[in-house]
Structure 1
Amino acid sequence: MRDLTQGSIPRLLAGMAGFIGFGLIVQTLYLLVDLYFVARLGGPAVAGVAAAGSVMLFVMALSQAVSVGALSLIARAIGARDAAGAQTVFEQAIGMAMVAGAATLLAGYPAGGSLMTVLSADDRTAMAARAYLFALLPSLALMFPGAALGAALRAAGIVGAPMAIQSATVLLNAALAPVLVAGWGTGHPFGVAGAGFASSGAAAIGTVAQVVLFGRLDTTLQLRAAAPRLATWRRIAATGLPASGEFLLMFVISGVVYWALRRYGSDAQAGFGIGSRVMQSIFLPAMAVAFAAAPIAAQNHGAGRADRVRATFRATALTGSGIMLALTFLCRLHPDLLVRVFTGNPTVAAVASDYLRVVSWNFVAMGLVFSCSAMFQGFGNTGPALAGTASRLVTFVLPVILLAHWPQATLHDIWRLSNASVVLQASVSLLLLRRAFRRHLGTPVSGRGHVTESIG
């Protein structure tokens, strides 16, 4: 257990973000490894994996209901020195995760095929998407217990050992992918399904390792079975569901873009799939800073350290914006360097590079969105983050639907519209965070180095 209410905040942020960032990179490599080997199977296979990847975003969204709720409640309990309360939340989060994982399998196999047909531009793409998704579903179900375990450790400030486990699972996935996708050494290739099998196998082994080693990673929280407490489930859900809704809206936004790109063909869909996947990957350093900020803010909020909560936001926003500015220059100058490894199709590569070059203008704004979201998690009130993302339904989704029926619309129109909507989202998030600061932290005392805590 690590006390995040003491010590230099920039140092805490940098130390935790380093481990978290490496872990996020490792996690993202699952899909990048799959994409690398599947790219050799042609454009429809890449587009199919990208379409099925949107379902991963959907399941990740659902897992946030457990992950964010557990992290916020456990971290605040730790900050308030309430060990029993932290243990109760952890036990109930594990129970919720097991139920959600089972539900993912029960719903995914019957409904996944129809969804892939809707999202895909043609029959070949839909067939590839279904094959990949059905093989990937076990790993998606395991996201829930993995998220609950990871949230508890992050709330306690423990990030190094989970990163090591994730690294090992990615190496395993990278080893399995060529064997199962291309049939290296066996002569029995499974194609796109092999990529899903590789991810599921590696995820299963990684989850078992997390469970076995959990007791050694944290000496305070105990991994044990407990009867459901619906009141605690409601507390976790009340904090986590808005964050889950935020991710679900991202799934909707991604799905609408895939739908709108059908008129441009599978190469456009594949290019967007590669470009968006690369963009998510290069965002990882800024996301790591935000992920590190959430437990720091939560522990200090639980301890009544309003001054340190404000300092956490300042450090997070400045660091995240600096990272995103550097990424903007990278994508403006040489986006082709980031996408060429994933495709030999010049049309797909051109779409992916062009996407990164245009949308890079919104990177700094997106970094501010990440920073605000972390603070809302620290307060245990993720509703404002949901409101910020929901604004994109009006500023992006509806216009994209209209553009899809306008014959003169180009891909650039969609990318530029995305830029404008992200900037507006960042503005909404900052305004809502300012209000949250006043509600939870009170008003800074003039001439003093701390902030008075508001009552209630």
Structure 2
Amino acid sequence: MIVGMVMMMSFGLVDTLFVSMLGTEQLAAISFTFPVTFTVISLNIGLGIGTSAIIGKLQGAGAVNDSKLYATGSLMLSVLLVGSLAALGYALIDPIFHYLNASDALMPYIRDYMSVWYLSSVFLSLPMVGNSVLRACGDTRTPSIIMAGGGALNAAMDPIFIFGWGPIPAMGIQGAAVATFIAWIFGAAWIIWLLAVRRELMIPRLLNLAEFKRSAREVMRIGLPAAGANMLTPIAGAVMTAVVATYGAEAVAAWGVGNRLESIASIVVLALSMTLPPIISQNVGANLYDRVEQAYAVALKFILIWQVVVFAALWAASHWIAQAFANEQEVAKLIKLFLAVVPLGYGMQGVIILTNSSLNAMHQPMTALVLSIIRLFVLFVPVSYIGSILFDLPGLFWGNVVANVLMAAASYLTFKHMLKKHRNTL
């Protein structure tokens, strides 16, 4: 899962790296797109969580035919919901990014990128939800290969479409979106072939209305709260981007680079958040709560130590990272400041992410959603904003760390309470 997640996250990082070679305005423009694109991706993640929970339960019960039905319904639902969200986003490109404080100078670049990205997001939904079906059936290797293949294809095509090659004209920032579009079409075709033909894990046809309603209802029961929790992150990120934008395009560019690097720095956390839930849910189903507690505790201890190592590596390499992503000295300076402060809280952020995924595995998606609301809109945004008022941009960065520490403690105590509650029902 780690290998596959690294390649999946490389989409945004590689795009950012090549776009940074075009100039600071283009880098700032793609940085503005991150909270918006992650909103759509978060919907896919939530639907994947719901899909995995339902398919895994059906597979464990031996209900193979129902499993195929729900797999097909999940894919149809993802295309419908993501397509609707993408269409709305496309129609509102200008008002959304003006609300984020994107300047008029950046809007042409943002339009070029997002007009293609929204179209391609529909194809992203198929491999993301389809991979959840494979994982629920016990296969974590193939989803990693699919993600790695898509990431490699995107990385290979980025310079071709951004800078031009042979008969292909230079498309600039739009070329990054075109490369991603092609990579996602490739991933969508691959996963459909695997599920429908090679593995026979789905019904190779469109469901009728009754079948679709039956499957969609169950997936959304878990998937929508999980999607809502995930979609809150980019919404809060959008608010923070607007705050950062008051410090200029250089600050936004550094913030965008930092967010892309955070995705890579948290890769082990994200991989664990996909592998810990099956262990949690299986042992809850078997009433083996000592094993649930042990698995949760081991994962948290490991991730706290691991993220300290990650912070040290980022801090040590901050100079070279800044030089790789920034053409201007001011941008490089702010990237180094980001890397010296914000990654301090990544371990605590890992506690929060693993707790939420464990709560979803315990069929407590609403509890996870409430924790996400508290984390982002009671702690993360307000504390960071107050920090920026008191100590400017460094205060905003330190506010991120403080918010993660406070929320990690609240998440840990909530999990302990829910585990005790489950035990008392025996």
- TM-score, normalization: structure 1? 0.86
Q: Which stretch of the first structure deviates more once superposed, 320-329 or 44-53?
A: 320-329
**Aligned partners of 2:403 and 2:319: how far apart in 1?**
25
Confirm or deny: 8 A CA contact 1:72 1:379 kept in the other structure.
Answer: no
Pair 1:401–1:414, CA change in 2 (3 A): closer
Q: Which stretch of the first structure deviates more once superposed, 210-219 or 111-120?
A: 210-219
Pair 1:265–1:133, CA change in 2 (3 A): same
The AA in structure 1 aligned to 2:68 is: Q
**Aligned partners of 2:101 and 2:334: how far apart in 1?**
17
RMSD: 2.2
**Among 409, 418, 424, the residue aligned to 1:427:** 409
Aligned partner of 1:123 in structure 2 is 104
Q: CA deviation at 1:347?
A: 1.2
Q: Which stretch of the first structure deviates more once superposed, 273-282 or 182-191?
A: 182-191
Cα deviation 1:368-402 (Å, max 9, x = unaligned) = 11221221121122222222221131223235556
**Among 75, 93, 96, the residue aligned to 1:112:** 93
Confirm or deny: 8 A CA contact 2:161 2:169 kept in the other structure.
Answer: yes
SS of corresponding position for 1:264: coil
Q: CA deviation at 1:252?
A: 1.7
Pair 1:367–1:48, CA change in 2 (3 A): same
Aligned partner of 2:256 in structure 1 is 273
- TM-score, normalization: structure 2? 0.92
Matched, 1:320 2:292: no
Aligned partner of 1:371 in structure 2 is 354
**Among 47, 50, 54, the residue aligned to 1:73:** 54
**Among 137, 141, 161, the residue aligned to 2:122:** 141
Q: Which stretch of the first structure deviates more once superposed, 193-202 or 347-356?
A: 347-356
The AA in structure 2 aligned to 1:174 is: A
**Aligned partners of 1:91 and 1:303: how far apart in 2?**
29
Aligned partner of 1:355 in structure 2 is 338
Aligned partner of 1:236 in structure 2 is 219
Q: CA deviation at 1:421?
A: 1.1
Aligned partner of 1:46 in structure 2 is 27
The count of corresponding residues between Structure 1 and Structure 2 is 423
Pair 1:329–1:43, CA change in 2 (3 A): same
Cα deviation 1:390-415 (Å, max 9, x = unaligned) = 113122323555667x4x64101111
Confirm or deny: 8 A CA contact 1:173 1:199 kept in the other structure.
Answer: yes
**Aligned partners of 1:81 and 1:306: how far apart in 2?**
24
Pair 1:127–1:99, CA change in 2 (3 A): same
**Aligned partners of 2:196 and 2:230: how far apart in 1?**
31
Pair 1:229–1:178, CA change in 2 (3 A): closer
The AA in structure 1 aligned to 2:297 is: R
**Aligned partners of 1:22 and 1:42: how far apart in 2?**
30
Cα deviation 1:303-347 (Å, max 9, x = unaligned) = 554444333323322322222121122233332333432222221
Matched, 1:206 2:187: yes
Aligned partner of 1:17 in structure 2 is none
**Aligned partners of 1:428 and 1:177: how far apart in 2?**
42
Confirm or deny: 8 A CA contact 2:43 2:82 kept in the other structure.
Answer: no
Q: Which stretch of the first structure deviates more once superposed, 222-231 or 236-245?
A: 222-231
Structure 1, unaligned runs of 5 or more: 1-19, 444-453
Aligned partner of 2:278 in structure 1 is 295
Q: CA deviation at 1:294?
A: 1.7
Pair 1:218–1:312, CA change in 2 (3 A): farther
**Aligned partners of 2:201 and 2:70: how far apart in 1?**
13
Pair 1:121–1:102, CA change in 2 (3 A): closer
Confirm or deny: 8 A CA contact 1:181 1:191 kept in the other structure.
Answer: yes
Confirm or deny: 8 A CA contact 2:35 2:234 kept in the other structure.
Answer: yes
Identity %: 21
**Aligned partners of 2:322 and 2:73: how far apart in 1?**
42
**Aligned partners of 2:60 and 2:305: how far apart in 1?**
29
Pair 1:134–1:158, CA change in 2 (3 A): same
Confirm or deny: 8 A CA contact 2:158 2:179 kept in the other structure.
Answer: yes
**Aligned partners of 1:32 and 1:120: how far apart in 2?**
23
**Aligned partners of 1:130 and 1:70: how far apart in 2?**
33
- 1:128-277 to structure 2, matched below 5 A, reads 128-186=109-167, 188-215=169-196, 218=199, 222-227=203-208, 228-277=211-260
The AA in structure 2 aligned to 1:114 is: P
Matched, 1:92 2:73: yes
Pair 1:54–1:122, CA change in 2 (3 A): same
Structure 2, unaligned runs of 5 or more: none
Aligned partner of 2:381 in structure 1 is 397
Pair 1:92–1:233, CA change in 2 (3 A): same
